[in-house]
Structure 1
Amino acid sequence: MSEAGSGRQGERVGGGRYRLLGELGRGGMGVVWRAYDEALGREVAIKEVRAPAGFGDRDIDRLYARMEREGRAAARVSHRNVVTVYDVAMEGRPWIVMELVRGLSLADVLDAEGPLPSARAARIGAEVLAALRAAHAVGVLHRDVKPGNVLMANDGRVVLTDFGIAVVEGDAALTLTGELVGSPEFLAPERALGRSPGPESDLWSLGVLLYAAVEGFSPFRQDTPLSTLRAVVDESLPRPRRAGPLTSVLEGLLDKDPRRRLPAAEAERLLRLVAAGGTPAGGSVSSPNAFGPAATAETEPLGRLPEPGATPAYPPAPDADGPAEPPDDPPPWRQRAAVAALVAGVLLAALSLGGLAWALLNKGG
């Protein structure tokens, strides 16, 4: 069955308190409205869920439950870089009432301006990371960090929004039939392999966002969701050409092993250093080996995705400028950390692999 009813301009929701003024945007699962709060005399944004045609009752119920959880997850995080949720109104389905952030998404900015200077990208990254650290501190994982979910407010703030697939510590998972949770090109390798996410998974997504912001393209994007996930798991990171002092930060955030990923506090410190015009210790370019094969002597592969048929040919990473050089000293955060011996990577169970492949190949019918 499909969902009955949808919002209309001029309609009042939330017991008549909120009057819908006009659409701000829409996607496959709903519409975001500009609305007026009659009780407090202010404009707000309201997210209305709209289940796609063909959804059964069970999936619609799960979608509504996830929408309510989005409101709870975002409301748990009180931070200037996280969108503020005011209310969740229930009228047949949930309507999330939140602050109206005037401005553009980072995706819109990148479309209009192209690649950003490293200092500007670092400032944006530091603000997003501050939002993520605040969320992680109260047990919330965002799981969908990407340029479209980062708002560049007219008042100068950088605001992380859309906690629609966030995980709140202690809550059960709410996954829809055949749904891939998250955007494949921003998904961390451990999540692509079906493993439980942690804060490090959000840090990987931030690294992909920063790479796209300075280089002008997403490093692992392929023609299909499945080939994109294979690239995330198996392919080496294309060597950055424009990142400059951000290069070592990208290396740290985009380590395929979450245990070796750059810690959040150190990442924020380095991002603020680059934003202020500085260069992380050790120079602006990290070891050439950072952009070599994903599997090394130190870190074996996390696993491989199933291959239905022949393995697709991936576009090669851009050629390095000249022959490989001996590795530099390890980055400062790894010198300071007490590194435990790493065990061999664990192969993912065949059932999990088959389930992921089925979900991807059957997504959208």
Structure 2
Amino acid sequence: MIDSSGTPGAPVAGRYVLVDRIGAGAMGSVWRAYDVRTQAWVAAKVLTQTNSAMLLRFVREQGLRIRHPHVVAPTGWAADDDVVVFTMDLVRGGTVADLLAEHGPLPTEYAAVLLDQLLQALCAVHAAGVVHRDVKPANLLLEVTGRARPHLRLGDFGVAATTDAVRLTSVPGMVGTEGYASPEQAAGAPPDPSHDLYAAGRVAIQLLTGVPPLLQRGVPEGPLAPLLASLTATDPADRPRSAADAQRRLLLIGAEHSLGGFRPRPDGPEVHDRLGEASMPLRQSLALPEAAARRTRSSAQVLTAAACFASAIALCAVALTRLLG
């Protein structure tokens, strides 16, 4: 954990060393962490409250195991006294919100790639019986690709729910983020995949215009306009039947308007490494578990023994040569 001076301390549950804070989510802060057991970097979300509703959301989120290249779902968890964390892949390119803040409106081809990948992620999420309920640029992570084809990953399942889940809100009201939430979601309707499709449409409009949902005025002109109008329809019956249906429509538009042939531009959007390098945790500074130290010592001992054995063989060979010679 991190002590009062900001210095990394003992690993949480003897496993995860929290090194530096890299963001915040719906349920708590997000840290770059070192997994002592696997000796790999991970992202770790630290639960900030321990009331029953938050704990139930935590259990629900850490239980998600949706394996898909465009989804960042929890991979492990640990608890240590009143500290609870769960871990996921460390994604280093920031978020779509960061990209928009730096670049502004994105080229149509670039926006189409991001929308396609988001719809792929929603296909996997909805197939697992889960509704994300908070699709927005800040929850769309980006792998580091420079100016090449972007790689989006949907993250932060803090308010996600299954369609048959027990409601975690005691009174009707909005779950999600204003502007991205569909009208019926904002009114407290039960979780439904169509809510995520509406949010995806709002996100896509923002990709093309740079304008957040509360300031958007209709759908921008262009080849994606019919699909975006359908995704953001007030009546859910007028939206695509599913994320897969929306993706099929997008692919047809791409084939017709050559949006699938993405080519990097010298002045195009760039997804760079926003985290930088971090020092490998050392036992002396981070109080890693004895098991890890023993493994390190054992490795050194094995190498030393191997060197001695090799030297002995060499000496024997020399002696044998002299005897036979």
How far did residue 279 of structure 1 move? Answer: 7.0
How many residue pairs align between the two structures?
251
Match of 1:161 among 155, 160, 177: 155
Q: How does 1:126-205 map to 2 (within 5 A)?
A: 126-155=116-145, 156-175=150-169, 180-205=174-199
In structure 1, what is the Cα distance between the partners aligned to 2:199 and 2:55? 26
CA deviations 1:129-158 (Å, max 9, x no partner) are: 111111111101000000000011115421
How far did residue 268 of structure 1 move? Answer: 0.6
Match of 1:260 among 238, 244, 261: 238
For the 8 Å contact 1:122–1:272, the answer to whether it is kept is: no
In structure 1, what is the Cα distance between the partners aligned to 2:101 and 2:143? 16
1:12 is aligned to: 10
Match of 1:68 among 59, 64, 89: 59
Letter in 2 for 1:85: P
- Does 1 or 2 have the higher relative contact order (CA < 8 Å, sep 6+)? 2
Cα RMSD, aligned residues only: 2.6
SS of 1:88's equivalent?
Answer: strand
For the 8 Å contact 1:64–1:93, the answer to whether it is kept is: no
TM-score (norm 1): 0.63
1:88 aligns with 2:66: no
How far did residue 69 of structure 1 move? Answer: 1.2
1:41 is aligned to: 39
1:103 aligns with 2:93: yes
Letter in 2 for 1:186: Y
In structure 2, what is the Cα distance between the partners aligned to 1:111 and 1:166? 26
In structure 2, what is the Cα distance between the partners aligned to 1:260 and 1:113? 32
How far did residue 25 of structure 1 move? Answer: 1.4
Letter in 2 for 1:185: G
Change (3 A) 1:6 1:180: farther
For the 8 Å contact 2:26–2:158, the answer to whether it is kept is: no
How far did residue 118 of structure 1 move? Answer: 1.5
Letter in 2 for 1:246: L
For the 8 Å contact 2:140–2:152, the answer to whether it is kept is: yes
Letter in 1 for 2:251: R
TM-score (norm 2): 0.70
Q: Which has the larger radius of gyration?
A: 2
Change (3 A) 1:111 1:277: farther
Change (3 A) 1:27 1:101: closer
Change (3 A) 1:163 1:173: same
Change (3 A) 1:87 1:270: same
CA deviations 1:301-326 (Å, max 9, x no partner) are: xxxxxxxxxxxxxxxxxxxxxxxxxx
How far did residue 8 of structure 1 move? Answer: 5.5
Query: In percent, how many aligned pairs have the same letter?
Result: 36
1:272 aligns with 2:222: no
For the 8 Å contact 1:46–1:95, the answer to whether it is kept is: yes
More helix per residue: 1 or 2?
A: 2
SS of 1:271's equivalent?
Answer: helix
Letter in 2 for 1:109: L
For the 8 Å contact 1:208–1:219, the answer to whether it is kept is: yes
1:354 is aligned to: none
Structure 1: gaps (5+ residues): 52-56, 222-236, 281-365
Change (3 A) 1:177 1:6: farther
In structure 2, what is the Cα distance between the partners aligned to 1:114 and 1:186? 19
